[in-house]
């Protein structure tokens, strides 16, 4: 909501309404989001419904990866899997230059957080941006962002969208 509210307050949202299509599923690994999986199909279905009901997809906001820090194989495959996800979604949605704003992990469940962060930073696809959550305050569990940090991240995502997404309006 902080992202949508910041866009609306900016006056550059391109519309008096900003719709969000939530698809998040906590505790998932990137391998569970690849084309052909249930999560991918559901995300695609929700995105298509949004468009069919009058919406326009302006960007994909992606904050995922803590579960990929547990196993070396998941951590080292993160970049390849993320690249494929972006390419597949763009093709399946028919939006070849869809802006993707990926949030860099602030924490992880395992010892390979930096490996995943490096993969996130290393995505070399057009219109894929990186917004870093590292350093934002974490909740007591030291995995998820605090409410205040989530609001701050929403503003950071909105700024990235406004900086890079306006050419797609």
pLDDT in tens, 20-32: 999 999 999 999 9
Sheet holding 99-104: strands in order across? 59-62, 99-104, 128-132
Q: Which helix (H) or strand (E) holds 43?
A: helix 38-52
Give dist(CA 47, CA 153) in Å, integer: 22
Residue 168 maps to a domain:
no
Report the pLDDT value the prediction gives residue 168, as an integer from 0 to 100. Answer: 44
User: The pTM is what?
Assistant: 0.91
**pLDDT digits 0-9 by tens, 34-44:** 999 999 999 99
pLDDT (average), residues 160-167: 78
Domain limits at 140? 25-159
CATH number at residue 89: 3.40.50.1110
Residue 96 maps to a domain:
yes
Residue 126 maps to a domain:
yes
Residue 164 maps to a domain:
no
Residue 137 maps to a domain:
yes
């Amino acid at each position: 909501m902080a992202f949508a509210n910041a866009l609306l307050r900016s006056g550059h949202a391109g519309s008096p309404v900003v719709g969000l299509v939530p698809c998040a599923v906590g505790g998932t690994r990137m391998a569970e989001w690849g084309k052909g999986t249930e999560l991918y199909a559901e995300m695609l279905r929700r995105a298509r419904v949004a468009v069919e009901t009058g919406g326009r997809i302006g960007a994909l906001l992606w904050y995922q990866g803590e579960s990929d820090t547990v196993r070396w194989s998941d951590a080292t495959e993160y970049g390849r899997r993320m690249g494929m996800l972006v390419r597949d979604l763009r093709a399946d949605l028919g939006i070849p230059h869809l802006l993707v704003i990926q949030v860099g992990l602030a924490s992880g469940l395992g010892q390979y957080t930096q490996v995943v962060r490096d993969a996130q930073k290393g995505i070399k696809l057009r219109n894929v941006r990186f917004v870093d959550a590292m350093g934002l305050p974490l909740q007591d569990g030291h995995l998820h962002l605090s409410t205040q940090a989530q609001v701050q991240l929403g503003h950071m995502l909105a700024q990235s969208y406004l900086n890079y997404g306006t050419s797609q309006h």
